[in-house]
Structure 1
Amino acid sequence: MRLNKEVLITGFAIFSLFFGAGNLILPPYLGYTGGDEWFLIALGFILSAVVIPILGIFAYARLQGTMLDFGKKVHPVFSTVFCILVYLVAVTLPGPRTASVTHEMSIAPYFDVSSLTTSAIYFGLILIFALNRSRILDILGKYITPLLLLILITIIAIASFSEQPEATRSFIINPIRTGILEGYQTFDAIGAVVIGAVAIISLNLKTYSDAKHKKTVLVWGAIIAGSGLLLIYTGLIYIGSLHNNGLSDPSRTELLTFLSYETLGSTGNILLSILVALACFTTATGIVTGTADFVKGLLGGSKLAYTITVIAGCLIGVIIGQTGVAYIIQIAVPALNFIYPIVIVLILLNALPEQYTSKRVFRIVVITTLLFSIPDFLKSINITNLEPLKAYIPLAEYGISWFLPSVGAYVIALLIERFTQQAEPLQTEQ
């Protein structure tokens, strides 16, 4: 059936749009540092890097709109500011990081070229892809993702059955917390609200007017993508843990290079280079395309606005992409601590049924999340004035000070909504 084919292509495309630089280099290193507690780390990582992002696609399937719809129940101005911040973060951090990873792992080991040259060629190709907007889902789903999955599954399978020294005990105090926070660095929750918009617009370009059909394609496509991410992340974390006792403090990229060589020999490094380049390229294409789609929609569907934004996004990528992976990861921490809690809360609220998410509920929960995420954000920029307050906030030691207060605010908001609804008929009768 056509629907089955469309679901498969969409699912593969969503997977490839999610699976970028951080998704590849972070999991093996988590397993390496986690040792025999790799499974607990995997649970945390999967929560923030699989469950939340896939719920974001589910939310898009229900909303059938753009990212502006995610925050419109709070206030239209809030929604616009939120979208601008998310796209600014996406186009200045995870997008350029893909170019840095590509240079360090796919280009520098084989060619004597500067990172600036790599970034320029890399984003030049992205420019071509993004300007051919209507074909993106088909190209990613039919051709690039199957190759990505084949290489990854081969590396994981061979490494899983090879003999390795017994893993040493992890020195990580809170493995689940570590997994959750490292999952932030994949940018996948932010990716969900960007990628979901790309998927919706791509389906609209195929002239699918039936909302039910688009919802089915997105939901099942998200399930396929989520299953692939779950399999690959768990596998990469596991094989990283297998080398916990056999390597001496490698970097993230060094560990990944070592794993590919151990499993596939000298050919492995070549395949890894292709894998890294493809994974990074698909994510960066989705980010630039999603940002340009947003600006185009904001300016009344202007094709010129789309083209200018694509060019600007690629130029930003060239400039920042030459600075190096470690630097980009370092400057990303404050941005993530500021925007990520709001992104997660909006994803969860929009994924819930309409009757449980009124405007009042949205506003109370979002304001609470903003307030209780301030201590973590300030700490990330070395301002510790509010640190004593964290002793009184549940889960603050896990770096998620906002979580339980937001849950509590949601429950209180629901109760207020219920009592208000019950009071209105009584006032009408009187």
Structure 2
Amino acid sequence: MKKKDILFTGLMLFALFFGAGNLIFPPFLGMEAGRSFWPAIIGFVITGVSLPVLAVIAISFTKGGVASIGSRVHPLFGSIFAVIVYLAIGPFFGIPRGASVAYEMGAQPFLAESGKGSLFIFMAIFFLVVYLLSLNPSKLVDRVGQWLTPALLLSIAALCVAAFFKLDAPLTAPTSKYAESPFITGFIEGYLTMDTIAALAFGIVVITAFADRGVTDQASQVKATITAGVIAGIGLATVYISIGWIGTKMTLTGDYDNGGAILTEAAYMLFGDGGQVLLGTIVALACLTTCIGLTSACAQYFNERWPAISYKNFVRLLIVISFAIANLGLTQIINISGPVLVMIYPFAIVLVLLSFVARFVSHSRGLYVGAITMTAIFSLNDGLTAFGLKIDALYQAISWVPFFSSGLGWVLPAIVGGIVGWMISYFRERK
């Protein structure tokens, strides 16, 4: 396979990962971390970059994608988990959220009057473009990797280079949550990108791209996927650090509620009214590439699962559902879908990490069952609590676990459950 093809695939993967959420979180981290920026951003990059890249590589190890990874717990679990993942990151949350952010940050600032009418018209145009660019997945590398990604990178580079030379405010003291353990706080904030879940879907897009270019044996696909993942990871890390640094320079210019407001003000300070056009271009391209990737990945998965329905018909169905939900508005989408993501994200992390561990461990079924069972207890509690349906007895029973208050209470139980499950499986087979 040509090195150029791997490069463009890596650029495509970067663009698929780099959605609006990725653009918003690092500047806010930079503003809050202040002088503790470097340990905080390093923690953010580890979880916001390394885990998604590892997830894509994990998919290349298997022939059935996320369903195959989940089936190592149980075939029924694998099928159900895969459908939930694709629906959550696709038409029920990921795609509508990307379109809504594109409207609120990329279009709404330029509209004299904004309301349901302008939202509907924007969504119609946006999803028409997504539909047309998603119809042929074999062309995704050409359209995204060769054209949209360079345009996105050039737009971000213009903003970051200007900020480096023109923004010279001193770094301020970190806020309370970054004062004591900035690395751990940044590490946890990296989960907000939700890219590890998305990577379980994007993996099949990468494998398909390589297969279309003649790379069909698994060893070569894994090697090419690792290289493409490294390219995407370097791009993501560079952008996160750069726009996070912009946030550190904006602390004294005002109070901001989110990273979008920080970047909007920074763009205006650097380029005036043209800055809003630049930022709008960045947001529109970031959201567009992510929505195209999610649509293509979801349609490919559902077409493989239910081949009686064509890929193009699944694209049409996904577009219609996403369009309808996107017109609810960003706030409603987050309120409805947020708790679902809180519930499934720990499963995704555990399955990705286990896919690497299991390559070196025999009798791995018990390892998967034990780790996922313990993870399920804490994910169920976190998801129900986010829905406002907290079960007091369950909460009291597990709230003593280390890292519970930070949302990472599942980590140690998953490790212990995996070890115990492996031991049971090992000795049962020995007996």
TM-score (norm 2): 0.91
Deviations along 1:112-162, one digit per CA (max 9) or x if unpaired, are 561111111111111111112210022211111122122223322332342
Aligned partners of 2:95 and 2:291 also within 8 Å: yes
| Identity score, percent | 31
Residues 168 and 244, structure 1, Cα contact 8 Å, conserved in 2 = no
Partner residue, 2:418: 410
Kindly indicate whether the alpha-carbon contact (under 8 Å) linking 1:10 and 1:217 is maintained by their aligned counterparts in 2: no
CA distance in 1, matches of 2:63, 2:226: 11
- Partner residue of 1:171? 176
| Residue equivalent to 2:69 | 70
Q: 1:331 to 1:164 in 2, by over 3 A?
A: farther
Residue type of the partner of 1:4? Answer: K
The residue type equivalent to 2:202 in the other structure is: I
Using structure 1 for the length normalisation, give the TM-score.
Answer: 0.91
- Residue 64 of structure 1, CA deviation: 4.2
2:32–2:175 contact (8 Å) kept in structure 1: yes
Which whole-Å CA distance do the structure 1 matches of 2:187 and 2:323 have between them? 30
8 Å CA contact 1:356–1:414 kept in 2: the answer is no
Map of 2:368 onto structure 1:
362
CA separation of 1:169 and 1:354: change in aligned 2, threshold 3 A = closer
Work out the CA distance in 2 between the residues paired with 1:172 and 1:328.
27
Provide closer, same or farther for how the CA distance between residues 35 and 330 of structure 1 changes in structure 2, counting only shifts above 3 A: farther
- Alpha carbons of structure 1 residues 115 and 182: separation in structure 2 relative to 1, 3 Å: farther
Match of 2:402 in 1: 394
Which one of the candidate residues 243, 268, 288 is aligned to 1:281? 288
| CA-to-aligned-CA distance 1:375-425 (integer Å, 9 cap, x gap) | 22222122341332344211102111111111122233344455456x35x
Letter in 2 for 1:314: I
* 8 Å contact kept, 2:33–2:175: yes
CA distance in 2, matches of 1:35, 1:66: 40
Change (3 A) 1:146 1:22: same
Q: How does 1:131-210 map to 2 (within 5 A)?
A: 131-161=135-165, 162-172=167-177, 175-176=182-183, 178-210=185-217
Q: Which runs of 5+ in 1 are unaligned?
A: 425-430
The 5 Å alignment of 1:257-272 reads 257-272=264-279
Partner in structure 2 of residue 322 of structure 1? 327
Letter aligned with residue 151 of structure 1: S
* 1:288-367 correspondence runs (5 A): 288-300=295-307, 302=308, 304-356=309-361, 358-367=364-373
Alignment correspondent of 1:28: 27
Q: Which moved more, 1:107-116 or 1:240-249?
A: 107-116
User: Does 279-288 or 263-272 show the bigger shift?
Assistant: 263-272
Aligned residues of 1:148 and 1:279 also touching (Cα < 8 A): yes
Name the CA shift for 1:160/1:414 in 2 (closer, same or farther; >3 Å).
farther
SS in 2 for 1:393: coil
CA distance in 2, matches of 1:378, 1:172: 25
Unaligned runs of 5+ in 2: none
CA distance in 1, matches of 2:244, 2:334: 19
Q: Which amino acid aligns with 1:234?
A: I
Residue pair 1:57, 1:196 contacting (<8 A) in 2 also: yes
Q: Deviations over 1:286-339 (max 9, x none)?
A: 111111111110123x4x432222112111221222333343333333112110
Aligned pairs, number = 420
Does the residue aligned with 1:108 lie in a helix, a strand or coil? helix
Q: Distance in 2 between matches of 1:323 and 1:178?
A: 32
> What amino acid sits opposite 1:137 in the alignment?
V
Q: Tell me how far 1:8 sits from its aligned partner.
A: 0.6
**Could you say what secondary structure the match of 2:2 adopts?**
helix
